Structure 1
Amino acid sequence: MRDALEGVDVLFVHPRAVGERAGELVKLAAEYGVRRVVVMSAINVDDDPALQPSRWNGDRNREVEAAVVAGELPWVAVRPASFAANVVGLFGAQVRSGDVVRAPYAGFAEALIDEADVSAVLAEVLLDDRWDGQRLAITGPEALSQRQLVEGIGTVLGLPLRFEEVPAEAAVRGMVANGLPEAFAHALMDRYAHGLAAAPTDTVEQVLGRPARTFAQWVAEHRDAFQR
């Protein structure tokens, strides 16, 4: 990393890129004259680790954010909600093959965020030091339930989609059959069961000067993911 840090003004730290070596990287960056660091975290970073499904895929958001905050450089932590793109894995194949979409916990609601907004917020805080020392929780503009997400996809795409709730155990079996770790699937079901979803925030608008993009806008721009 030494050559890569030459002449760098601001460092962006992604947990999946640095893992347990975030502290070493921030220390090295300070030695090379880097002035600030922006870390990508997650909105659920303070939840019980057992209820953070991404940890079973290797994410260490809590540890990486803590290492950056403990370093000697000014920092900003960007904590996005679940990405809207996650619905492709949850519902995409079902929408492409028929009008019935099955999932557990029909009423579980969260304010999914458009990945374009995540990128825009990161770009802004990389360039503007007025956000230093803050943990920015960013979400979409409204919390939508699993059922409402499916209905929204149907409305935007003009499809007569129907949501059918299935037991958590069936969902786990399906996810494991499709290659996801069983521990991840169980942690996701536990998160749904506990209703662990952050309330919508207006942080995107504070940072960008415009409202966060809606789920309907995201679907319209990603209709190919559901194309039959």
Structure 2
Amino acid sequence: MFLVLGATGHVGGEVTRQLHQRGEAVRALVRDPAKAKAKLPDGVDIVQGDLERPDTLKAAMADVTGVFLMNRMGEVGEAVEVLADAGRLVFLSSAAVVDDVAEQPNVIGRAHAVVEDAIRASGTSWTFLRPGGFATNTLSWAEQIRAGDVVEGAHGDQAQPLIHEGDIAAVAVRALTEDGHDGACHLLSGPAPISQIDQVAAIGAALGRPLRWVDIGPDELRRRIEPVMPPGIADVYLGGLATSAPATGVVEAVTGRPGRTFARWAADHVADFR
């Protein structure tokens, strides 16, 4: 039995579905079972619980041999102690984590490194997944795209290898169900860098109508996003947009097939932009 936390989210939902498709027994820990039942495949065992209330996790751990864990940027040290009893823990961390430093350089790295440290200290077998940019981050453009044919942003020509949530899940499933991933920190990315300008074009192609990028500059973008982001997140987000990054190739190395392209992601999510 595998326990999935965050099973109603983009990545956790994919982990749940892919495990279920393999014929594995899957249990989803959720806050709202009725809402989760509408989203998850028939046959998934749905239990109510909360990562921030470790006492609610113990009942969900019966017969569990592996756990997929996501971090909601909260304190999860006590929860890790309970989840570690499974014997194998796969944690969705972040490429923002920097190894072998006294202090993490930003708030996202710090939040995930704290959980990584707790998992290491637990003594369980662990695997950390450290993806860079998520393709799902572009869902923030959905309102603009529904309203017209222009997407406004900053640093449109910088390219990042955005990763499809299905590929993060595919690596997670391998780490949960196969040996050879104990102690691994998998740095995950999409198969190739793609600029925001080309991301917008790919979404337009999926929708069947041309979309256009308009660069408004980082100061204006900061003014728009800071009020709706937790403290410190805007700095990390804008810093990421300002730099290009290479693909890592880890998805193909682990799964044996190339990662899904951004064009594939856009086609898979076209309904989200309509």
- TM tier, smaller: 0.7 to 0.9
What residue number does 1:208 align with? 255
Which residue among 76, 89, 93 is the counterpart of 1:21? Answer: 76
Amino acid in the other structure paired with 1:127: T
Which residue among 132, 136, 140 is the counterpart of 1:85? Answer: 136
1:60, 1:51 → 2: CA distance?
A: 9
> Does residue 189 in structure 1 map to residue 238 in structure 2?
yes
2:112, 2:256 → 1: CA distance?
A: 27
Equivalenced residue count is: 215
What residue number does 2:89 align with? 37
What residue number does 1:76 align with? 127
> Once the 2 structures are TM-superposed, how far is the Cα of residue 216 of structure 1 from its aligned partner?
0.5
Tell me if structure 2 keeps the 8 A contact 1:147–1:163.
yes
What residue number does 2:117 align with? 66
> Once the 2 structures are TM-superposed, how far is the Cα of residue 9 of structure 1 from its aligned partner?
1.3
Cα distance change of structure 1 residues 201 and 191 upon mapping to structure 2, 3 Å threshold:
closer
Moved more, 97-106 or 211-220: 97-106
What residue number does 2:183 align with? 133
What residue number does 1:6 align with? 62
**Structure 2 alignment gaps of length 5 or more:** 1-56
1:20, 1:183 → 2: CA distance?
A: 17
Which residue among 217, 220, 228 is the counterpart of 2:267? Answer: 220
- How do 1:161-172 residues align onto structure 2 when only pairs under 5 Å count? 161-172=211-222
The answer to which structure has the higher helix fraction is 1
1:110, 1:71 → 2: CA distance?
A: 34
Cα distance change of structure 1 residues 21 and 157 upon mapping to structure 2, 3 Å threshold:
closer
> Once the 2 structures are TM-superposed, how far is the Cα of residue 169 of structure 1 from its aligned partner?
1.5
Cα distance change of structure 1 residues 182 and 172 upon mapping to structure 2, 3 Å threshold:
farther
Tell me if structure 2 keeps the 8 A contact 1:13–1:39.
yes
Tell me if structure 1 keeps the 8 A contact 2:159–2:245.
no
1:16, 1:217 → 2: CA distance?
A: 27
> Does residue 46 in structure 1 map to residue 98 in structure 2?
yes
Cα distance change of structure 1 residues 51 and 166 upon mapping to structure 2, 3 Å threshold:
farther
Secondary structure in structure 2 of the residue aligned to 1:16: coil
Tell me if structure 2 keeps the 8 A contact 1:80–1:138.
yes
Amino acid in the other structure paired with 1:64: V
Q: Deviations for 1:159-216, whole angstroms, at most 9, x for unmatched residues? A: 2222111121111222246x334643233223333x2x54212211122221110100
> Once the 2 structures are TM-superposed, how far is the Cα of residue 36 of structure 1 from its aligned partner?
1.8
Q: What is the percentage of aligned positions where both structures have the same residue?
A: 34
Which residue among 71, 94, 99 is the counterpart of 2:149? Answer: 99
Tell me if structure 2 keeps the 8 A contact 1:51–1:191.
no
Cα distance change of structure 1 residues 2 and 226 upon mapping to structure 2, 3 Å threshold:
closer
- Relative contact order higher in (CA < 8 Å, ≥ 6 apart): 1
2:59, 2:205 → 1: CA distance?
A: 51
> Once the 2 structures are TM-superposed, how far is the Cα of residue 97 of structure 1 from its aligned partner?
1.6
- Supply the RMSD in Å over aligned alpha carbons: 2.4
> Once the 2 structures are TM-superposed, how far is the Cα of residue 3 of structure 1 from its aligned partner?
2.7
